[in-house]
Amino acid sequence: MMGKELSIIHPRPSSIVAALYTLRDLNVDVAILHGPPGCSFKHARLLEEDGIRVVTTALDENGFVFGGRQELSSLLEKVNEMFKPRLIGVVGTCASMIIGEELREPVEDANLDVPVIEVEVHAGYPDNTKGVLITLESACEVGVIDREELERQKVLLHEATQVEKRHGAASRQYLEPSRGDVKYKVAERVIRLLQEGRKCITIMNAKKETGYMFADITAAVNEVALALGKEGNVVNMANVDDSLGLPRVRHHAKCIAADLKERGITVHEIIGGMDEYPVTGERVNELIKQKYKDYDFALITGVPHAIPMEALEGMEVISVTNGPRQVLPLKEMGHQHVIVEIDLHPKTLGVNHIVESEFGATLREVAKDMLGK
């Protein structure tokens, strides 16, 4: 077919899942999945750990044939009674959208005095950011966010899609998951570089709540540098601007910045908000050009593939991602060392303090051995 876009055949979260996470960032108390009982089960459970309730209308075969208007409106009533929410989200699924279910009518039937964000979404969009977009548009309609924020999010979403298509999980039809390089070897390398007096930039370019773990790596590098008396050789950049983004995202930035401060770590350059990971690359590029050209190595965490290689020219690049399918694209970009923080997401949901990372812990342990402390 002419002009057909690359179709991605490895599994990725669907638009339904993306919608659920966006509702979470909008601080809904309850998200209702209008569809089959098992839809998005794993993410729904993770989100429950993050403090929101995720329930389902559990449409069965009869529901597919006769529709589930009644089921949805009575679930809305039940949820309202049980959880006393201040904000509710209703998310469509493939099943309900294919049979043409309408979300507005059951919401009107239930007639709650709680705002409801209706998200008519299914899993059949090639870019899962579509799920985010539909959610935000609906949130804007209900008045949960303003138009300006909606427009800002649209730009970010577009950029996020581009980043994924350029060097991310959508850059190739099939990407094999990989665990990346061995952590203790990379830890040794980082310690050696610091020992030799090499100058280091840490760049935390984290996507929202993943920052709780990536910030630990920034902390660990600083601790090791301090132990070596080389703290002056490290400059820290992080996307922890707490004035930008959806309510929960701003909250994450605030918590992470406060934790770093408490540990005595200075964030020298704030490169953006926690939803700006796809657009921070240019800022980083400019900053390095202006002030840090002579730095020897960079340790990038979060979404390292959003930082252009131009910015990192001449530096040894170590990157830490939580995407096992991200290893190959990063290596191909020229990152010498790529490591993966496995299981990052489950560990960073529902927290509001920095969480220990595997690489941070490894750095600390290897440093103890190497420095005899």
Partner 1 sequence: MLMTTSAKNQKRIAIYGKGGIGKSSTASNVAAACADEGYKVMIIGCDPKSDSSITLLGGKRIPTILDLLRQNIDVREKDIVFEGYGGVKCVEVGGPEPGIGCAGRGIIVAIQKLQKACPSMSDMDLIIYDVPGDIVCGGFVAPIRKGLVTEAYILTSGEYMPLYAANNICKGLAKIDTPLSGIICNSRSVTREEEIVRRFSEEIGSRLVAFIPKEQIVQDCERDGFSVLEKAPRSDIAHVYRNLAKAIMFNDQSILPGSLDDERLRELTR
Which stretches of the chain bind ligand SF4, using CB under 6 A? 14, 16, 35-36, 38-40, 93-95, 123
Strand 88-92, strand 53-56: pairing: unpaired
Nearer to ligand SF4, 14 or 357 (CB): 14
Please calculate the CA angle 261-263-264 and round it to the nearest 5 degrees.
65
> What is d(CA 264, CA 84) in angstroms, rounded to the nearest whole number?
41
- Residue 16 interacts with which of ligand SF4, partner 1, none, CB < 5 to 8 Å by class: ligand SF4
- Residue 62 interacts with which of ligand SF4, partner 1, none, CB < 5 to 8 Å by class: partner 1
Nearer to ligand SF4, 95 or 366 (CB): 95
- Residue 123 interacts with which of partner 1, ligand SF4, none, CB < 5 to 8 Å by class: ligand SF4
- 3: tokens are 């002009």
Compute the least distance from the CB of residue 226 to ligand SF4, in Å: 48
99 binds partner 1 (CB under 8 A): yes
Nearer to ligand SF4, 46 or 256 (CB): 46
The residue count for the chain: 373
- Count CB atoms within 10 A of the CB of residue 291: 13
Percent helix, strand and coil across the chain, each to the nearest 5: 50, 15, 35
Nearer to partner 1, 55 or 99 (CB): 99
Compute the least distance from the CB of residue 159 to partner 1, in Å: 38
Compute the least distance from the CB of residue 48 to ligand SF4, in Å: 17
11 binds partner 1 (CB under 8 A): no
> What is d(CA 148, CA 297) in angstroms, rounded to the nearest whole number?
38
> What is d(CA 130, CA 123) in angstroms, rounded to the nearest whole number?
10
- Residue 93 interacts with which of partner 1, ligand SF4, none, CB < 5 to 8 Å by class: ligand SF4
69 binds partner 1 (CB under 8 A): yes
Nearer to ligand SF4, 60 or 310 (CB): 60
Nearer to partner 1, 34 or 230 (CB): 34
Residue span binding partner 1 (CB under 8 A) among the ranges 26-34, 65-73, 132-140, 316-324: 65-73
- Residue 226 interacts with which of partner 1, ligand SF4, none, CB < 5 to 8 Å by class: none
> What is d(CA 122, CA 40) in angstroms, rounded to the nearest whole number?
11
Residue 60 contacts by C-beta under 8 Å, 6 or more apart in sequence? 36, 37
> What is d(CA 115, CA 137) in angstroms, rounded to the nearest whole number?
14
Residue 181 contacts by C-beta under 8 Å, 6 or more apart in sequence? 337, 338, 339
- Residue 57 interacts with which of partner 1, ligand SF4, none, CB < 5 to 8 Å by class: none
Q: How would DSSP label each residue in 223-237?
A: HHHHHTT-GGGEEEE
Tell me if 175 sits within 8 A of 328, measured CB to CB. yes
DSSP state of 241: B
**Residues touching partner 1: how many (CB under 8 A)?**
11
Compute the least distance from the CB of residue 16 to ligand SF4, in Å: 5
> What residues make contact with partner 1 under the rule CB under 8 A?
61-67, 69, 98-100
